Structure 1
Amino acid sequence: MVRILFLHPDLGIGGAERLVVDAALALKERGHEVSFLTNHHDSTHCFKETADGSFPVQVVGDWLPRKLFGRFYAFCAYIRMLYAAFYASFFMPQREQVDVVFCDLISVCVPVLRLARHRPRVLFYCHFPDQLLSAREGLLKRVYRAPINWLEEHTVGLADKVLVNSKFTLRVFQDTFRRLRTVPDVLYPSIHTQYFDQMEQKLQQRSTVLEETVHPRVPRNAFIYLDINRYERKKNHALALKSLRLMGDMLSSADFKRCRLIIAGGYDTRCLENVEHYAELEQLTTELDLQEHVILLRSPTDEEKCRLLYAAHCLLYTPENEHFGIVPLEGMYFSKPVVALNSGGPTETVVHTSTGFLCEKQAKSFGGAMCQLFRDEPLRLKMGDQGHKRVQQKFSFEAFADRLNGIVQDLVPPSRKKLD
């Protein structure tokens, strides 16, 4: 048995958080001792496994500021994570010392962890280079980011093992960190299919599921398009709205009246962009005269998300050059065709014309695929069935768990492993 600590900046709701929670579940199922250390954990805004006692969760450094003068988010995030790394390395009780630290998002903690008295092995999971997630906004921003970007590149290379979430991210990693000799391994995320199976079985047993679980504004005969992603501008929810508006010109008024778009996005009041973008989408919905057709939901729970996936007819995935994208896997596992952009990670999960459509970043292309799935029920059902099979064959939780378990076992010398 290996003792593993997950070091993550904020255990909220998002793709990175879903990955670390699933990785923890996988390793726990393989008999390892797993715990979390984080800078922030809100039990009302997190995945349930981090709040229901499935794992020990310890919060340190939440008193440190998240921003200074309304800016310097990255600098503050680095300071908060350094604080957590120093705690894990030098102040954690002897009985809680671990063999492996799994960290992600912020690599500045890696050299601190290497100085720890117990010297755990450090496994770093790169969702995407952080410096590429920061928009270039002039000379001052570039000067501010320069030392942070330098730190990112040099500290990532100090990890004992580096993983990335897709072949797309691997190419970006190598193009971005040109001075590193590190060659990461690709470990595709998965989904905890056992939970989804249990939820789907419960939903199938409820004959009135559509009436009870979707939304009061969704009629019984509605055709539901579901868009799940955080309320961030880069997630491009506006494309779904504009594509739906275009469908109004493609379908008869009676058919279009049945169409509903549900956007279910992660929403955190502490994040100004979440608040602003939600308001922007409300305004765009009004401008496009789609108030009757669009429902904006904030931070659905895991159970609510499963109900939405079960009731939906089609899943929309609108971000461009997404690093991997776990939502398409969730949609495919629920036997829903996926309409996504033809870029980034979705090109490795969605098979064009087989499990869904990979489209250009235009309402005409995206809306055309949405319209085709509305009109062609046999195609929609066939794509859904093929998508479910693809997740089982290529992205199963068992394969993910076995691979991650093997990586962790290889990192730790036999003499360091704790006996059961």
Structure 2
Amino acid sequence: MEPSVLFIHPDLGIGGAERLVVDAALALKSRGCRVQIWTAHYDVKHCFSETIDSGIPIRCCGDWLPRNFFGRFFALCAYIRMIFLAFYIVFLSGEAFDVVFCDQVSACIPIFKLARNRKRVLFYCHFPDQLLTQRISVAKKIYRAPIDWVEEKTTGMADCILVNSQFTAKIFKDTFTSLSDIEPDVLYPSLNVDNFQPGVSEGLTELVPAKRKAVFLSINRYERKKNLNLALESLCTLREKVSLQDWEKVHLVVAGGYDERVTENVEHYQELNDLAVKYDISNHVSFLRSFSQKQKLCLLQNCICILYTPSNEHFGIVPVEAMYMYCPVIAVNSGGPLESVVDNVTGFLCAPSHEPFSDAMEKFIKDPSLRIRMGKSGHTRVLEKFSSDAFSHQLYQYICKLVE
């Protein structure tokens, strides 16, 4: 009998972590596993389409609990929500399952160990949570100290720990010093290629003027840590490097995950719009919020290059999606892109500065055939290194070992 796997995730919205959870659930379902996803928040208007169409049960519990107190204590609230969700699953839901797939918040792991039939837990570490926030004040350091301790101790309670890249594996070892005896395995996120089948291109007439044939694309959430400013600064610098005729062909589309509940999303979206006006490039930039999969495919088919601006990104699925769609990538030369993008082959790896980024962008303006050559190389690399079959097989083996 195939294993039964329960996924538990804080907020099943739209993001890299959510993309992996959904793909992992689909991968195990394709292997015959019984799969269900439990979450503290789920909105059918702000989710991946597969959560609606795949037939995987989605259970939501604990959304009545606060996400913050007066705009603060987000981490504490996230821990409380996940602990409550785990308690409900174990002691009140009546659900039967063999393995728990947990990610992002490890604080719920001890609850599954308290179950009458002690559950086996697989924890997928996208990145240590304690490194995702700055400790500016003494009060913040005091507040985070017990949360960081809980994260490290509960992470170590998992029966199997996976990370999304060699980069994250090193950060894991450097951060969780008390877990030095644990060697996390790397399971690269994969691409569900069924969602990226090129269709008939509809063009970008709603977003981009018809005369703009050199379209650059940025895909990332509207968060300051994603350094979307770099895309605008690079576009501004590019204007000084190309002829007026070439400049009139250039356009940038900034497409990002956007949730009105998240203050930073709302604020940063406006900040970027203001920055485009400040640089006098607003008529060469379009901003798109919470786009559909159909819109994403259309953008990837019609752009000449992806600008991937975060530094020290844990993995970054966007470059992989772009390369599969024959679209080259200009990315910051740190973190996950060092493992996904091959410099001068599938794109360019650059220092996080507008000068090298604009230099790379200029190459695509001067040599349009570069998009075709690098696009083919990128597509081949995804098939060889990030296939859904390899991801599915590897994950299934981990689940089976836990059950045995």
TM-score range relative to shorter protein: over 0.9
Corresponding position of 2:388 = 397
Corresponding position of 1:133 = 132
Q: Equivalent pairs: percent with the same residue?
A: 52
SS in 1 for 2:6: strand
C-alpha distance 320-138 of structure 1, shift in aligned 2 (>3 A): same
Task: For 1:107-118, list aligned pairs within 5 A.
Answer: 107-118=106-117
Corresponding position of 2:191 = 191
Aligned with residue 265 of structure 1, among 232, 256, 269 = 256
Q: Does structure 2 conserve the Cα–Cα contact (< 8 Å) formed by 1:128 and 1:323?
A: yes
Aligned with residue 213 of structure 2, among 218, 222, 230 = 222
Cα offset, 1:216, TM superposition = 4.5
Q: Does structure 2 conserve the Cα–Cα contact (< 8 Å) formed by 1:214 and 1:308?
A: no
* Distance of 2:174 and 2:137 partners within structure 1: 22
| Structure 1 residue ranges, 4+ long, deviating more than 3 angstroms after superposition | none
Corresponding position of 2:53 = 52
Corresponding position of 1:175 = 174
Corresponding position of 2:310 = 319
Aligned with residue 278 of structure 1, among 269, 293, 310 = 269
State how many pairs are aligned. Answer: 402
Corresponding position of 1:72 = 73
- Between 308-317 and 11-20, report the one with greater CA deviation: 308-317
SS in 2 for 1:264: strand
SS in 2 for 1:111: helix
Cα offset, 1:117, TM superposition = 2.0
Two-structure CA RMSD over aligned residues (Å): 1.0
- Between 63-72 and 326-335, report the one with greater CA deviation: 63-72
- The unaligned stretches of length 5 or more in structure 2 are none
Corresponding position of 1:92 = 93
Cα offset, 1:85, TM superposition = 0.7
Letter aligned with residue 189 of structure 2: P
Aligned with residue 372 of structure 1, among 326, 349, 363 = 363
Cα offset, 1:192, TM superposition = 0.2
Cα offset, 1:304, TM superposition = 1.3
Cα deviation digits, residues 291-326 of structure 1 (max 9, x gap): 111000000011211111111110110000000000
Q: Does structure 2 conserve the Cα–Cα contact (< 8 Å) formed by 1:323 and 1:345?
A: yes
Cα offset, 1:120, TM superposition = 2.1
SS in 1 for 2:238: helix
Letter aligned with residue 67 of structure 1: N
Cα offset, 1:118, TM superposition = 2.7
Cα deviation digits, residues 374-418 of structure 1 (max 9, x gap): 2112222111100000000111111111100111111102xxxxx
Corresponding position of 2:239 = 248
Cα offset, 1:75, TM superposition = 0.4
Cα offset, 1:161, TM superposition = 0.2
Relative to the length of structure 2, the TM-score reads: 0.98
Letter aligned with residue 122 of structure 1: V
SS in 2 for 1:101: strand
* Distance of 1:50 and 1:116 partners within structure 2: 28
* Distance of 1:63 and 1:39 partners within structure 2: 9
Aligned with residue 329 of structure 1, among 320, 337, 344 = 320
* Distance of 1:393 and 1:381 partners within structure 2: 19
Relative to the length of structure 1, the TM-score reads: 0.94
SS in 2 for 1:87: helix
Letter aligned with residue 404 of structure 1: L
